[in-house]
Amino acid sequence: TWTTVWTDGLTSLDKYKGRCYDIEPVAGEDNQYIAYVAYPLDLFEEGSVTNLFTSIVGNVFGFKALRALRLEDLRIPPAYTKTFQGPPHGIQVERDKLNKYGRGLLGCTIKPKLGLSAKNYGRAVYECLRGGLDFTKDDENVNSQPFMRWRDRFLFVAEAIYKSQAETGEIKGHYLNATAGTCEEMLKRAQCAKDLGLPIVMHDYLTGGFTANTTLSHFCRDNGLLLHIHRAMHAVIDRQRNHGMHFRVLAKALRLSGGDHLHSGTV
């Protein structure tokens, strides 16, 4: 906002404004520059990724004077990071819950991602877990569609997990996607997973939003659930080299908002 108004005199604009403290050209690119900008911490609400992004990238990307803009990285002071809970549990707690150490955890996503009935979906989960996998996983757009409502999926998956555990003697799991249209519905699904004694739920943190993700992360910490995060929609933000945000920024934001591990795509 560039317009001078009388209320400017009621505060200290110099205290709260951002400051560009360095500019350097991008190597090998014409008319492209990296600008280093610092903001006072008082501009940001504690523990809110939503407010952090609203302030840093909320309006500036729409300025007519800019042909393109990309947020490459964030350097976040410890004083601010300490206001966030972060991941619900972490790697060591996950290994403790599974009683599996000294090796990577192996899992897969159930395919086809859409169209299976809940019963057949549970059957596929059982076959994978019984065959030796540690985890199976919902796809990002498996929520609660007419062909497979969420509660039916949760029940058949729970049956598959307990059956495979009984036959293998190992602790198994399935990333149950709790993403929903409202935070209330999302928490209802997470609560159902807890009531069934299942170890982990999943969330689409970009399409679901940071407020919803932080809410679910807090619930998972309080209720002993692990939280897997899917990055659906990331390429809308991070694919272009000269506009949007680098994925490292999205990953750091998730580290603050909360998630035990993040889907990274094909390796």
Positions marked active-site: 111, 230
Angstrom distance (rounded) from CA 134 to CA 102: 14
| 3-class SS of residue 135 | strand
- Contact yes or no for 71/241 (Cβ under 8 A): no
Largest CA distance in the chain: 74
- CB atoms < 10 A from the CB of 38, how many? 10
Residue among 222, 205, 207 nearest 256 (CA): 205
Nearest-angstrom CA–CA distance, 120 and 9: 67
Give CA torsion, residues 244, 248, 254, 260, to 10 deg.
150
Q: What are the structure tokens assigned to 133, written together?
A: 């996998």
Determine the Cα angle at 80 with ends 59 and 87, to 5°: 95
- How deeply is 84 buried, as exposed, middle or buried, from its count of CB atoms within 10 A (0-12, 13-18, 19+)? buried
Instruction: Name residue 203's beta-bridge partners.
Output: 229
Buried b (16+ CB within 10 A) or exposed e, 204-235: bbbbbbbebbbbbbbbbbeeebbbbbbbbebe
